[in-house]
Amino acid sequence: MAALEETGLRAPGPGRRASLPRLDRRWLVFALGALFFFGLTNFSLGYIAEKSAADPRASVQAALILWLGTGMLGVAAAAALRISGRGLAGLPGRAGLLLPAAAGLTLALGMLLLKSSLAADPLAKGPIVAITSSNSLVVALLALVFVGEKLSSGQWAAFLATVAGIVLVSLGGGGHLAMVGLALAAMMLFGLTNFFLKLAGERGCDSLSASVVLWLSVGACGVLACAGYWLVLSRWPRLGSPGLGWLALAAGILLGLGMLGIKKAVTLGPAGPATAVSGSNAILVSLLDLGLLGHKLPALKLLGMLAAVAGIVVFALTRPVGKSRARGGAGRCA
């Protein structure tokens, strides 16, 4: 019975066949939560970059400080779990550490490539963000091949509409394609991050424990990066004002909470669409830019926002299809 409930199938009663998968929107709620936290994260990083325009290295420095913020969240959460006596009991043995730890590493490397490409060529912001935000296509393909996760025709339509909306919102600011190589590499790393979280859920890693390991992994990357920064430049990464530094730390905490949301979303629902919904955080960033910084919204961005919102609405109304169990999986755990 429990296995049927996880896949969204109802157990057949006497003399009747199993019904169609029920409409379960829990994954969409968590994906929208991730959208909210990722939107705040990216708006904060954009604000830091705008206020540090005279320093081309500010975006990369902010990313390193952000990693430390995510790591601080991990340390606090790990301490709280240890004091409660729960610990990381939601992981199936030490092997359960590998996937969320790898997700933290690919997330940190993807962010480094993204921020490095933006610092090297700020005029390419639109195309770079559009490419990296399309990592949900990578997630959907990996989930189809390795987890056997299929999408209905309605879900595919909503998925592609959402991705198209993300691309249009990102391209609305203009730019050119000078840094496509780095953007594609970042897209692959972000796609691997979300797929690793999906696979971790399929293998029995609960979302909180997996997220804590991911947070600690990102924090470890931050510590190593800051140490390397000091060895090379004989100083720690530092932004123009203490306020911006604290904002970067807060953005790291917001990023961590967003990753917890996406872990729940890809475990409870389809990985590609869940990632696409959370990737639509460009809508929130654009609205915050308009409301707080006075940035205008070009027509292309408005069109993209409408397409992404339409895709999310269709996700909420579309019935899912069944899925074969993960190969070698130990049972899904949210």
Residue 331 lies in a domain: no
pLDDT of 112: 86
Please report, as a single letter, which amino acid is at residue 99.
Answer: L
pLDDT of 170: 64
pLDDT of 212: 97
* pLDDT mean by block of 10 residues, the chain; 334 residues: 40 45 77 94 86 78 94 97 90 87 96 78 63 81 88 82 76 57 84 95 93 98 94 87 93 96 94 89 85 83 80 73 50 64
Residue 179 lies in a domain: yes
pLDDT of 323: 53
pLDDT of 17: 44
Q: How many domains does the chain have?
A: 1
Helices (H) and strands (E) counted in the chain, each on its own, are: 13, 0
Residue 332 lies in a domain: no
Separation of alpha carbons 289 and 302, rounded Å: 13
Residue 237 lies in a domain: yes
Q: Which domain holds residue 102?
A: 25-88+95-317
Residue 327 lies in a domain: no
pTM for the complete prediction?
A: 0.84
In this structure, the chain runs to a length of 334
Residue 324 lies in a domain: no
- Contacting residues for 106 by C-beta, under 8 A, at least 6 apart: 189, 190, 192, 193, 196
Please report, as a single letter, which amino acid is at residue 181.
Answer: G
Beta strands in the chain (DSSP E): none
Separation of alpha carbons 9 and 15, rounded Å: 16
Residue 74 lies in a domain: yes
pLDDT of 206: 93
Residue 194 lies in a domain: yes
- Contacting residues for 129 by C-beta, under 8 A, at least 6 apart: 170, 282
pLDDT of 230: 92
pLDDT of 16: 45
Radius of gyration over every alpha carbon of the chain, rounded to an integer in angstroms: 20
Separation of alpha carbons 266 and 191, rounded Å: 12
In sign, the C-alpha dihedral spanning 41, 183, 71, 198 is positive
In sign, the C-alpha dihedral spanning 305, 308, 311, 316 is negative
What distance, in Å, lies between the first and last C-alpha atoms of the chain?
16
